[in-house]
């Protein structure tokens, strides 16, 4: 969890550097920016999940839910999404975003305090040096009781669509060995008006976070494109001239063969009743985990190979 502590500390530094100060009169129902409505809803869901697990004495599950929210949702997505707003010229949007980011970070510190009392207390004090004066130490703060009506279904659908588009694009790039520095186009094929509008609204964010040359709508996928389907629309990534597809196909087939050989050996061991009975339990468990990891890797490579075979 050392890396998690560093991640949390860096999130607090980001908030300070961008003047995300606590404001006593902040109302979590007040945001107008879609991304701020979304993070408020995600905070309400996370608080409910952590509270539920703690009350059931499932401490590991509570810590896991909080870990995923802080690392994946707040740090990896929200803080990246709000950079254009914080650097933009719309002062109202900038103020709203600063206050929302600070409010969510406060909720995070309160929820984390039972698990990480020292670092959260320190950050609580440091963040309180700006904006509204703290009423006291973090340990005496009231536990978050956030209403489910803070979850905005429209904002959730919109941001989750963007997250899935970026994740799938990144995954495809990684699986097909697209060079990290290569910027490629993204084409949305057969999208309805609402989906096209989403792409237009978040085009700059999507292009930056998925390392795209540009993204736009089109009637058909160009030759040499790999595709995937997202909510009924086809997403095309033209790779002709970017990736040597025959060579990549051969590489993937070789890697798949290697993994399948390893899986076969592990299956033979796990299918040997004498080995399973006599070997230490932790050895058998480790082998099963390695087998599951190898199978997952092989499935991803097979998916990538199928994408190449489907290139038009």
Residues 297 and 274 in one domain: yes
Residue 185: beta bridge partners?
214
pLDDT at 312: 55
Over residues 87-116, mean pLDDT: 96
Taking 90 as the threshold, does the pLDDT of residue 227 lie above it?
Answer: no
Do 207 and 254 reside in the same domain of the chain?
Answer: no
* Same domain membership, residue 255 and residue 134: no
Residues 139 and 160 in one domain: no
Coil, helix or strand at residue 30: coil
pLDDT in tens, 244-302: 878 888 888 999 999 999 999 999 999 999 999 999 999 999 999 999 999 999 998 88
Query: What is residue 23's predicted lDDT score, i.e. its pLDDT?
Result: 87
Q: 193-227 as b/e, with b when 16 or more CB fall inside 10 Å?
A: eebeebbeebeebbbebbbbeebeebeebeebbbb
Percent of the chain with pLDDT over 70: 99
16 and 141 fall within a common domain: yes
Instruction: Name the residue with higher pLDDT: 90 or 247.
Output: 90
Same domain, 13 and 127: yes
* Domain CATH code at residue 119: 1.10.730.10
Q: Which of 200, 208, 172, 169 is nearest to 186 (CA)?
A: 169
Q: Tell me the CA end-to-end span of the chain in Å, nearest whole number.
A: 46
pLDDT digits over 164-217, tens only? Answer: 999 999 999 988 889 989 999 999 998 889 999 999 999 999 999 999 999 999
Q: What's the domain range around 195? A: 155-238
Is residue 53 a part of any domain in this protein? yes
pTM equals 0.84
Asked whether residue 38 carries a pLDDT value surpassing 60, the answer given is yes
CA 187 to chain centre: 22
Residues 9 and 140 in one domain: yes
* Contact indicator for 151, 44 with CB cutoff of 8 Å: yes
Mean pLDDT of the chain: 92
Mean pLDDT of 46-60: 97
The CATH number of the domain holding residue 228 is: 3.30.2320
- Give the count of domains, the chain: 3
Q: Where are the beta strands (DSSP E) in the chain?
A: 184-189, 212-218, 225-230, 233-238
pLDDT of 103:
97
- Is 121 a member of any domain? yes
Q: pLDDT of 147-161, one tens digit each?
A: 999 999 999 999 999
- pLDDT for res 228: 87
Task: Please indicate, yes or no, whether residues 214 and 256 belong to a single structural domain of this protein.
Answer: no
Say if residue 95 is in the same domain as residue 62. yes
Is residue 150 in a domain? no
pLDDT value at residue 168:
93
Provide the pLDDT for residue 309: 75
Which pLDDT does position 134 carry in this prediction? 85
Residues 17 and 134 in one domain: yes
Same domain, 115 and 54: yes
pLDDT of 77 over the 80 cut: yes
Which one of 145, 169, 200 terminates a domain? Answer: 145
Residues 131 and 93 in one domain: yes
Any domain includes 206: yes
Residue 188 lies in a domain: yes
- Residue 47 belongs to a domain: yes
Task: Produce one character per residue of 295-309: b if its CB has 16 or more CB atoms within 10 Å, e if not.
Answer: beebebbbebbebbe
What CATH number is attached to the domain comprising 266? 1.10.287
């Amino acid at each position: 969890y050392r890396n998690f502590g560093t991640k949390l500390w860096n999130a607090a530094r980001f908030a300070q550097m961008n003047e995300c100060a606590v404001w006593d009169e902040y109302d979590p129902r007040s945001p107008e920016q879609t991304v701020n409505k979304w993070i408020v809803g995600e905070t309400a869901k996370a608080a409910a999940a952590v509270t539920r697990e703690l009350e059931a004495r499932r401490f590991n599950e509570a810590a896991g839910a909080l870990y995923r929210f802080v690392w994946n949702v707040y740090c990896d997505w929200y803080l990246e999404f709000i950079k254009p707003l914080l650097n933009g010229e719309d002062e109202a949007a900038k103020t709203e975003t600063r206050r929302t980011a600070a409010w969510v970070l406060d909720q995070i510190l309160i929820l984390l305090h039972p698990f990480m009392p020292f670092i959260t207390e320190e950050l609580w004090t440091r963040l309180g040096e700006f904006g509204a004066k703290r009423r006291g130490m973090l340990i005496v703060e009231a536990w978050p009781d956030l209403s489910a009506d803070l979850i905005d279904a429209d904002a959730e659908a919109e941001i989750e669509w963007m997250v899935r588009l970026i994740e799938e694009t990144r995954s495809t790039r990684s699986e097909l060995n697209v060079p990290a520095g290569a910027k490629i186009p993204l084409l949305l094929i057969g999208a309805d008006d609402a989906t096209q509008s989403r792409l237009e609204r978040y085009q700059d964010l999507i292009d930056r976070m998925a390392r795209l040359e540009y993204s736009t709508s089109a009637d058909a996928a160009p030759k040499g494109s790999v595709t995937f389907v997202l909510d009924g629309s086809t997403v095309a990534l033209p790779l002709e001239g970017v990736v040597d597809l025959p060579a990549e196909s051969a590489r993937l087939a070789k890697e798949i063969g290697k993994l399948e050989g390893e899986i076969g050996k592990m299956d033979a061991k796990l299918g040997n009743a004498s080995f399973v009975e006599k070997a230490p339990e932790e050895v058998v468990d480790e082998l099963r985990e390695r087998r599951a990891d190898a199978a997952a890797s092989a499935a991803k490579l097979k998916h990538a190979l199928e994408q190449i075979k489907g290139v038009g």
